[in-house]
Every structure is written in C-alpha cells, then in structure tokens.
Amino acid sequence: MITFELNGKTVKADVSGDTPLLWVVRDHFKLKGTKFGCGMGLCGACSMMVDGASTRTCVLPVAAVANKKITTIEGVGNPEMLSTLQQAWVEASVPQCGYCQSGQLISATALLKSNPSPSSDEIDQAMSGNICRCGTYPRIKKAIQTAAFKQGFAQQASQQADQQSSPNGGVNIFEPASTTKEDMA
Ligand code: FES
Ligand code: FES
C-alpha cells in the first residue's frame, strides 16, 4: 500500500510499487487529464508536480512518491476557477490538438511557482522537456509571460492595499522616547 497526497487529499493505492505513477493516477484514481505520450520520459505529456517540481510520471514508480505531494492538471484549476496561468492560456488560444497541454501547463505552473518572473531564456529552459507536435511554443511562451506579469501586478496591488490599510498608511513612525526631568538634568 502506497500513501501519498493527490491534489491536496491523502490517498492510498494498493498497487505494486513499480507501477508508474501515471497509470496509478489514471487507472486507479480515474484522473484522466494527464496523458501518455512516449512512455520513455522524453516528451513531457505525462508531467505532474511532485513536491512542486514538474516530473515525468510515465517512468516514475509509484513507490518513489510515498508521502509526497502530487499535483495533476485537475489540481491546478477547473473550468469554474481557472488559475491565472490557465486564463492566460485561454486568452492566448494556446492549444491546438491539446494532447500535450496538460503537461505544458504543469511545467509552466511549476516554473512560475519557483520563479515568478522568469526571463525568456529561463522559460525556454524550463519548458524544453515538453514537446508539442503542433508547434504551439510561441503561444505557450506568451501565456507564461502574461501570467507572470498579471501575478506580479496582483502581488504589487495587494502589497499596496496592505500598506494603505495599515494605521500609518504603511509608513513606520518612530515615536521618540519621552524625555524625563532626569534626562534634562
Ligand atoms: S509519456 Fe512520459 S515523458 Fe512522454
Ligand atoms: S497542442 Fe497538439 S501536441 Fe501540443
């Protein structure tokens, strides 16, 4: 029995420890959003986040994720509540056939969590393991840059709101210690 966290819930899988995580998630837990591509750790279609890192699960034995946190595409957002990245994805009309997109979104989500403001080169590097046969790479990059900008803007706005709602409008006012008669002597 292997225990791990799947999209925020603790789950147990009564499977052989060498079963690839991909098949445990798809067949045992019936979450079919993550796709099978090459089966050799080369295309990224099967990417899930393992403790926050984008990981190829077609070649990852489930025993290796005992007590770890797994996030699949179903845990990133849903049609009623898209993540900022998913919204940017929709705005940029990124998908074509769609087959690689779950893996692309997982890798992009992991990137923005570890590096909220990635450079162009850092995006290329982080996404290089996710293959798209439809060639949606330019739109993927644009969506990542848009989401990074929006998240940065939202963070800045929330910091400003915090400052404005603090008693001194975010300005630290240092009160001088009161002067006593002894100090004056
Ligand atoms: S299916 Fe796992 S990397 Fe291609
Ligand atoms: S959208 Fe078709 S493979 Fe990427």
Ligand 1 binding pocket includes 37 (Cβ within 6 Å): yes
Does the structure show a pLDDT above 90 at 66? yes
Q: Is residue 169 part of a domain?
A: no
Separation CA 54–CA 104 (nearest Å): 10
Return all residues near 150 (Cβ < 8 A) that are at least 6 apart: 84, 87, 88
pLDDT value, residue 160: 79
Nearest CA owner, ligand 1 atom 3: 41
Query: Which pLDDT band holds residue 170 (cuts at 50, 70, 90)?
Result: very low
Tokens of 169: 């409008």
Q: Residues 118-130: what's their mean pLDDT?
A: 97
Confidence at 159, pLDDT banded by 50, 70, 90: confident
Question: 101 lies in which domain range?
Answer: 2-164
Residue type, 19: T
Is the shortest distance between the CB of 46 and ligand 1 below 6 Å? yes
- pLDDT-derived band at 51 (thresholds 50, 70, 90) equals very high
- How much of the chain exceeds pLDDT 70, in percent? 89
* 178 belongs to a structural domain: no
Asked if residue 73 lies in contact with residue 106, where contact means CB atoms within 8 angstroms, the answer is yes
Tell the residue nearest (CA) to atom 2 of ligand 2.
Answer: 97
Using an 8 Å Cβ cutoff, are 140 and 126 in contact? no
Judge whether 116 lies within some domain: yes
Q: What SS3 class is residue 67?
A: coil
Does residue 22 lie within any of the structural domains? yes
Confidence at residue 129, expressed as pLDDT on a 0 to 100 scale = 96
Indicate which ligand has the atom closest to the C-alpha of 55. 1
β-sheet bridge partners, residue 55: 48
108 in a structural domain = yes
- Residue 12 counted as domain residue: yes
pLDDT band at 124 (very low <50, low <70, confident <90, very high): very high
What does DSSP say about strands 69-71 and 53-56: parallel, antiparallel, or unpaired?
unpaired
Would the CB of 70 count as within 6 Å of ligand 1? no
Total domains, the chain:
1
Identify the pLDDT of residue 168. 59
Rounded distance from Cα 34 to ligand 2 centre (Å): 13
Query: What was the pLDDT predicted at 83?
Result: 95
The residue whose two tokens read 């899988």 is 13
> Residue 78 — pLDDT band, cuts 50, 70, 90?
confident
User: Quick one: pLDDT band at residue 173, thresholds 50, 70, 90?
Assistant: very low
CB 83 within 8 A of CB 109: yes
pLDDT at 167: 60
Does residue 182 lie within any of the structural domains? no
Any idea what the CATH number is for the domain that residue 109 is in? 3.10.20.30
Choose one of 54, 58, 100, 131 to mutate for the ligand 1 pocket test, by most ligand atoms within 8 angstroms of C-beta. Answer: 58
* Residue to substitute in 21, 34, 38 for testing ligand 1 pocket (most ligand atoms within 8 angstroms of CB): 38
Residue 172 lies in a domain: no
pTM of the model: 0.85
